[in-house]
Amino acid sequence: MLKPIAAAVAVLVVSLTVFVATRPDTFHIERSAVVHGTPADTFAHINDFQRWQQWSPYEKVDPNMARTYEGPVSGKGAMYSWKGNSDIGSGRMTIEDSRPGELVSIKLEFFTPFAATNQARFQLAPEGAHTRVTWSMAGPNTLLGKAMSAFGLMDAFVGKQLETGLKNLDATVNPVAQTQSALAGTPSPMPVP
């Protein structure tokens, strides 16, 4: 009785391993939202790492995180390193391409709790009087990443963080609209902590 069960479990494990191994070698996750500000104002909040504390969802993971800024204050060559608790780990971001009102492209390096190098991009486009921001993250898929992607977990987890960041960016770029929404009784797009 145990042999057929063990054989079935072995077949299931091998099948699952083969399925995961055949997943793509790269991943790409993106989210898009309208930010109620001009492309120039929105770009200024993305292109300067020191402003990220105002809106990035990753800044809230460890309030005691150590931050270091190097290079220019903003734009190409600006670098931001962090070292935090086990939930946020350590890493570095470097702006590789910066086009005012259009694009910020970032090399994203993770050192701990795992090593990885990914690419983050913010593409901006005018949408009426506002700005459509598309935030994407892409990079090589590790075996763990393939397993998470196979079941939609990677897109759900990272995608939720990108969505939160875009909502926070909107609230930061246009705090007047947020205040007016609150006064009018309209729910604010800013998540309540």
What pLDDT, in 10s, does the model give residues 147-167? Answer: 555 555 577 778 999 999 999
- What residues of the chain score a pLDDT lower than 70? 1, 6-24, 142-153, 176-193
Torsion of Cα atoms, 187 then 190 then 192 then 193, to 10°? 180
What CATH number belongs to 2-173? 3.30.530.20
What are the domain boundaries of the chain?
2-173
Query: pTM of the prediction?
Result: 0.76
